[in-house]
Amino acid sequence: MFNVLTIPAFDDNYIWLIKDSQSSRCIVVDPGDATPVLEVIASQNLTIEAIIITHHHNDHIGGVEKLMMDNPETKIFSKEPLFDNANLVDEGDTIAFFDGRLSFKVWQVAGHTLDHVAYFNEQMLFCGDTLFSAGCGRVFEGTHQQMFDALSRLALLNEETKVYCAHEYTQNNLIFALHVDPHNMELINYIKRVSKARQQGLATIPTTIKCEKLINPFLRCDQPSLLNSVQNILAKPLTSGESLFKALRLYKDQF
């Protein structure tokens, strides 16, 4: 069994720690800040077996060097050689941990950045800044087509897969989602659940692929009701899911 611990960082980042219940080992995902990770490591007497990185932005890698100082045997996995001893991963790779008891497949999900990858199995998806609850990452280095393709691919994963994204953006994303998809009852009910969770100081992540397919406009670009709504808002025709996605993402950038 494996437990995923939530480590808040900065204003709204999440660092994920995957803890092996059969040993004192763990994996850290996207450690932008070492300090809160080291606190958890010390309090639970853990050893970091590996650090896995989704992309190169500093709020995802800023704590790596400090963590490596205290754990020099730790392996680093990333798409690009961000650190001297990085193990490079690419599309279609499988990486294994804890004596082979946990493994993740690797997909390229360029869009937010060109080096962005996602790590997943049937239970867990670590997707960095590609897919958020009720939203998706900004397109900084890639193209809108790349981001659309990446999200479409993630939407094909097992619906019960838990989605561990890297930011608590859910409430802000929901404001935009409701604006463009106002008659979506699944979305309206989700807003109520999220509101209650945040009032109690609880994280809204992980979400699930199933939930996101019901409420996330960026995964619903095949829905005629959303297409019609966005066409009316923007007062221009949209002829495909790809064009709807690009229009949504550009509109969200200015929202």
Taking only the tens place, the pLDDT of each residue in 170-205 is 999 999 999 999 999 999 999 999 999 999 999 999
Residue positions forming the annotated binding site for Zn(2+): 55, 57, 59-60, 112, 129, 167
Q: Looking at 89, 124, 141, which one is the last position of a domain? A: 89
Mean pLDDT of the 208-229 span: 98
Q: Say which residues have a Cβ less than 8 Å from residue 192's Cβ, sequence separation at least 6.
A: none
What pLDDT does residue 70 have?
83
| Structural domain harbouring 29 | 1-89
Which tens digits make up the pLDDT trace of 18-54?
999 999 999 999 999 999 999 999 999 999 999 999 9
74 and 147 co-located in one domain:
no
- Indicate whether 125 and 17 sit together in one domain: no
Residue 103, in any domain of the structure: no
In-domain check, residue 235: yes
List, for residues 145-179, the tens digit of each pLDDT value.
Answer: 999 999 999 999 999 999 999 999 999 999 999 99
User: pLDDT value at position 15?
Assistant: 98
Q: What pTM was estimated for this model as a whole?
A: 0.97
Assign residue 149 a region (left: φ > 0; alpha: ψ between -120 and 50; beta: otherwise). Answer: alpha
Same domain, 174 and 143: yes
Same domain? For 115 and 232 the reply is yes
Check residue 47 and give its pLDDT.
97
What is the spatial order of strands in the sheet that 124-128 belongs to? 94-97, 102-108, 117-120, 124-128, 162-165, 207-208
Interior/surface letters 89-107, b for 16+ CB within 10 angstroms, e for the rest: beeebebebbeeebebebb
* Residue 117 contacts residue 80 (beta carbons within 8 Å): no
**Cβ atoms of 195 and 175 closer than 8 Å:** no
On whether both 125 and 229 belong to a single domain, the answer is yes
Token representation of residue 248: 């949504």
Do 37 and 132 fall within a single domain? no
Count of domains forming the chain: 2
Annotated binding site: 55, 57, 59-60, 112, 129, 167
CATH number of the domain within which 252 lies = 3.60.15.10
